[in-house]
Every structure is written in C-alpha cells, then in structure tokens.
Chain A
C-alpha cells in the first residue's frame, strides 16, 4: 500500500516536472528568439538606469494596434503606388522625426545616422563644430500690434555651455547666450505670420496687412530653421571652402553682439585634477562619461594618498554627461546608496522611484565643495544636488541651468536613433530643480579670471575657505 502511494507520488512528481520542463522550454525558446533580434529594432543604449528595467520595446505593444495597421497600410500603398521608387529609410526617418517633434520636447528628438554618430562622439569628448552644447528653450511672450497684444510662443536657440579650448570659448561665447542669426540669416524662433493673423483679427487696413506680410516674407526668405542652425553649428566642415568662420548674432542680457566663431573638432580631456595648497584635492571633470569616471577614481586615490583634507569638485560648464558613469563617480563620494529620485509617468499618473548607486558606496569621507554655474546641465545638476544631500558638502557659485530630464537614447538598425525624456530627476528629498536650477548654498557671481587657480577664481576661494572651516571643526 505504501509503495503504491510512493509510486503514485513519484509519477505525479515526474508529470509535474514534465509540465514544468514544457513551460521552461517555451520560455527559453522565446527568450532566445528575443535575444537573436527578430524584429527588435529599438534597444536602450545608455542611461537606462530604470530601477525596474523593463522588457525591451519590441515586446511592448501599442495600446491601439489598429493604428499600427493603419501606418502599415499607408506605407505599403506609398511603396507600391507612388510615381517614383521610394526609400523606406527616408519614409521611416520622416515619420519618426514627426512623431518625436509632436511631443514638443527639445530633449526628445529623432537623430539621423550622422546626427546619432555625432551624438556618440560628443559623449566621448569629441565635439564637432563651434564646440558648444546647445539647447532649444521655449518662451511664452506677447506680440504687440498697435495697442493690442496676442500670445506668442518662441523657440530660442541657447548656448548651454562652451567646451574648454573650443572655438566657441575662444570667440567668447557664454553660457546663456541666445543665437539669433547665423551669417545674417535669422534663426526662426517664432511664427513670422503671427502679426498678420492678429492684424486680420483686428480688421486692420489692407495696406497695413500687405506691408506686414511683405515684411514677414522678407524675414522668412532670409532665415534658417532651428534644426538647420544646430546642424550648421555642430558640424566641422570637411571642405576648405566652407571653413570660413560663422558670424553669429548673439543676444546676451538685453544686448546684441556680433561674434565670429570658427568650426573645428574639439577634444575634451575627461578630467583635470591637482592638489591646491597641498591640502585640497581639486577635481574638474569636463564631462561625465565612462573615461571621466575611471580617471575620477584614480585621481581621487592619488589625492587621498597625497593627504587631501577636502575636495573641490568643479562642475561648472559640465553639460555633456551620462547617468551611469555619473553614478559610478557618486559612489566614491556619497554615503548612501540612494542618491536621488526620479519622477516618471504611469498612464495618466506620476510616480517616483529611487535612483540608486549600482553598488554600495565607498565614500571618501572628506568634506566636498561643489562648484556650479549656469553651464552645469542635466546629469551634472543631478550630481551636484546628490553630493549635497548625501555627503558633507556645500554648493558654491550660481544656480545651474535647470534641465532635470532623464533621457534615454535609442538606436535603430540603420544607425539612426532617437532620444526620449523618460523621467525627471529630483533631489533625495524630492526637491525639484527643473527650470529653477540647483541653488548654490553660497552664491558667488564673480567670474573666474583663471579657472581652478587660487587668486583667479573667486568661487574656488570661497569653497576653499569653507573647507578650511570644516577642517578646524574636526
């Protein structure tokens, strides 16, 4: 009787095992298929860092499959019926460009293969063109026509930061400058016909409308789109005859300046460091990428061995960065594993999740002075705030740029790609800095004559005197 039960048990177990192996086999095959690519087009390339990493996009389904079918129908019809042969790539690029543009977010952009390549190079510290990081900022303003006003939306091309030793730096471009025209061509920042629409609403005399439309047409004739302007500014001409400098019309603090700037390849050194007064370790990452992160670890070791009593981390003008290397650097400073929060969208609601270091921190346990200015942008801003909130640290300088977008880069099979804002960084305590910027503890407006040199850098001097006060206290 007992053996019968035993045998029965064994059979049931065996059958259960067989069932499970069937289950697993399918999953294995499915996963293998998924890895081998199949129809997978989109892959995360950098800064995934979503704490709960999700299934790749090829398995994500659109909530309305009928829309995908519609797209497919139209594509096939055009491919088969259009009067001339069409390039499928061109159609894809056109549609993705439009889709991402419809999000109306400067940080979510389609990248053509050459732009995508440029993007990758910039992340490696090889910046083409004038050597500045540019962004498009939206501004709501009013249009004045006669004694009436109408709302007007502007898209302005702004310099976030200039790379060290770049043509832009030599030409004197500054973080915060607006580029209004290139070689006399107006960079289209607003609808030039808005005035006419308003005049028509006001039933202004025909002649006045005609003149306004003449003006608008003239203005438009001699203009370039923002995307074209960015392309021109971030390309190093290969042809000698195109190599002449660009004449930029720049708006800075209400003034209009003419600036002549060359275009060349700027190679940015990932990190510079030195000991100040034999006691303060000064670290200046020029970007926050993998190379900078490696060098940061080495430099920190050297400085500590040299007897550093405090650290200065100079993030002024750091506008190129990736989240992962930045977190690696943070793990040598922060005393907690969680360094920030990220706000993200689920359906129609917003949630937050912690932003954690990839491994437990190994902090240097030294007081840290962080130097920032308007040119500290995005990941650098997050880092400054994280250091402030997870270590014995103070922030010196001016408020940062104020772009808290957490951005993913996606790559498509043909070498094109796109960026997408997937979240918004917040401080550990939930403090938001989007558009406001990270505020310094000690505000120092004076610009350095010699950056990183005591005696020529007022922000650095304030930082060092704070470090001294920390040393006395301990």
Chain B
C-alpha cells in the first residue's frame, strides 16, 4: 500500500516535469527546424527590439521573402543589404551621408593614409593614350624629364590604346616608392620607355599674382586648405607687404576646402580681434564654436575682396562667410558650392563603415552654409555681395584671364576703394591695432 502511494507521488511529481519537458522539446524542435515560430527566439527578439524597429523588421521580412520566394536569382544577400542601406541613406537626400561597403571602406582608409601615390602630372585624354598637360614641380614626372605634350601610350607594358583616362590614372597610381614603367611618345619620334618611382606629390597651395601694377593690387590664389596652407599664406602676405601691396584679392574659387584647422588659421590672418569664425550645430544645438586664434592677425591695413564661385566649398565657405560677416571683405563672384556639413565616419565591425552628417556649419551671423536640393536644383551656399558670372567655358588659367569678369570686377571695386580712402588708411590701421591689443 505504501509502495503504491509512493509510486503515485512519483507520477504526480513527474507530471509537471514532463509538461515542461514537452514544452521545452517542442521549443527546441521549433528553433532547430524553423517549423513554427519560436517563443524563445521571438521574445528575445522583442526584448531587444523595444524601440521603433519598424525599418529593420520591414527590411528583414522583405529580404527573407526575396531570398526564399523571388523567382529570379537574387543578388547575394550582402550586396542586396548594401544596396538597401544605400537606399535608406539616399532617402535623406544628403550626398555626404553614405554607407561604405568593404571595398569602399578599404579604399577610404588607403586614401586618407596616403599610401597611394602617383607621378605628379596633370593628364588629359589624347589619341592613343594620355597626354601630359604639365608635370608638377619636384614631382617624379618632372625629375624624369617628362614634358608637356608627351603622350603616355602604355603603362607597365599595357597599352592605353583602348583605355579611358580615369582607368589610365588608376594604372599609373600605386603604393609609394614602387616603380612604374611608362612608354612615352614625343612628337613623331619612336616611343621610349622611362621608369619612375611613385612618390607623394605636393600640389601647390598658394600662388601670388600682381594683377594691377599701377595700384599694386595682388591676388592670392588659395587652392586648398592643406596643412601647409597657413604657412604658405604667411609667406605670400609677407611678399605682398614687402612689395608695397595696397589691396588684396583673396581668390577662393575652385577651392574644394580641406582641413577645418587650416581654415581657422587662414581666417585669423584676416580678421582682427577675438571673433567667432564658425559655429558647429548638431541635432541638440550648438556643439562648438571656433574663434580667431590669438596673435595670428596679419595686421593688414589694405582693402580686401574675396572671390568665390561654384567650386568654393567647405573650408573656403567658412573663411569667405567669416570675412564677410565681420565686414573684412565683400564677396564677389557666384554662389558657392554649399557644403557646410560635418561628417563623422563610424566604422561598423568587421569591415564596413557609415559616414553620417552629424553637424552643420553656420557663419558668425548664423547663415547655414549648406545647399539644399529643391525640385532637383541645388539652392543655397554663400550668396556673393556682388554677383558676377564668368562664361561657362572659362578656365582658371593664365591664358583665359582676359575673360575673367569676376577678377575684373574685383579690381574695379578695389581701385574705387583705394581712391576713396586714400586718406583713410591711417584710421583703418589704428582701429586694427586697437582691436588686436584689446
């Protein structure tokens, strides 16, 4: 009797255990075979998915449908995902917020570490290959004696006969200090071969031109905001002072920008006193404000104008906007490009990254530097104080200077100023010094 009772107790004890057992085995079966929804997996998924996860849900479902049921052979899942992410970011209509797939991310890392270099020559398309427009000073191309007009017909023995220019450039570029063999055709002569060592090529950053000898008006063409730009600018300003320059045209046309620090340095040369150069505004409001740097003012007591056009972007716009807002110089030319955005590159392990526009630049007066796309057209950027358009096929070269209406306008404005303030120079200087000493 007692034994039977014990058996019942065991059975009763076993019952809930077996119930749970059935539950667990069924769950395990569901997880392993995907035969029915899994409580465990789904509730875990829900737990990690408290916030609005609609996009990821929709994406996962659609991707799963495509993978399982689409009639055609779908692209590889990773490629399809990258495309979807591109589409997601594309909806922001901000060209700078972008996804970098493994290839793009690797390329970006190579680019910024500068491990890929060239031979230092400007090239253009030509029959049978790529023509050298001009070799840059101190470049491997110049050292090897290449001349303007030479045509590169083969790279490392590979003919450029059927190769487009950008592909030719890719063939010529490579890791620093590696060798590249170029086959050159010069005039009617038999082609010859030269071997060059690839190296970092420094493109010139600052050029100075005396545009009006009589009035001593100088033009400083600042081509980018590299690390060296401030030092080169100082050299240029010294030269202008020594030669008795009486007015300066700061030419920021076709300057795509560069380092933010360089732009603050450059602005500090022109703006007296402790002034805001640019504000950085993020989602939550003001993030940062960059001001002129102490002791960098160049003590300029001459009238200045700034030239801008559609090629003036980013750091150029910061400098131009600050000079205008602090009434240092008027802007002449065309609407600037309108790239006043700060990107943050966030790597996503193992091998991709996303560049997100996290903040925007505002000029001291609060002008949003970024252009927006309205009805397919870019609207925004800096508006010049005096709008002057150059012919569409105008080139920024010495030869085409005669057609540079923007430069002519700048000279006109400065000449007027020089004649109007002949006696005022002393006052200007006094003010400038007072501000610096404050």
Contacts and interface: CB of A to CB of B under 8 A. Distances in A.
A357 B344 CA distance: 58
Interface in B319-349: 341-342, 344, 346, 348
B37 A95 contact: no
A55 B38 CA distance: 13
Nearest to B48: A72
Interface stretch (A262-270, A296-304, A372-380, A416-424): A416-424
B18 A18 contact: yes
A203 B79 CA distance: 34
Given A15-B14, A30-B30, A209 B125 contact: yes
A68 B57 CA distance: 9
B73 interface: yes
A78 interface: yes
A103 B42 contact: no
B259 interface: no
Given A30-B36, A74-B354, A22 B20 contact: yes
B145 to A, nearest CB: 25
A86 interface: yes
Contacts of B71: 105, 343-345, 405-406, 421-424
A78 B356 contact: yes
Interface in A404-459: 405-406, 408, 410, 412-414, 418, 420-424
Given A67-B77, A99-B66, A39 B45 contact: yes
A72 B42 CA distance: 17
B49 A39 contact: yes
B18 A22 contact: yes
Interface string A44-64: 000000000011011111111
B59 A201 contact: no
Contacts of B30: 26-27, 30
Interface of A is mostly: helix
A343 B70 CA distance: 11
B21 interface: yes
A23 B72 contact: no
Interface string B151-176: 00000000001111100000000000
A68 B85 CA distance: 11
A68 B56 contact: yes
Interface string A383-421: 000000000000000000000011010101110001011
B426 interface: no
15 contacts: A40-B61, A59-B37, A61-B34, A71-B56, A74-B99, A78-B356, A88-B55, A98-B90, A103-B70, A200-B164, A206-B124, A343-B71, A345-B72, A410-B62, A421-B70
Given A59-B37, A88-B52, 13 more contacts: A23-B23, A26-B39, A29-B39, A39-B53, A60-B64, A63-B77, A67-B63, A73-B348, A77-B356, A92-B58, A93-B91, A99-B84, A99-B87
Interface of A: 7, 11, 14-15, 18-27, 29-31, 33-34, 38-42, 54-55, 57-64, 67-68, 70-75, 77-78, 81-86, 88-103, 105, 108, 197, 200-201, 203, 205-206, 209, 343-345, 348, 405-406, 408, 410, 412-414, 418, 420-424
Interface of B: 4, 7, 11, 14-16, 18-27, 30, 34, 36-39, 42, 45-46, 49, 52-75, 77-81, 83-92, 97, 99, 124-129, 161-165, 281-283, 341-342, 344, 346, 348, 352, 354, 356-360
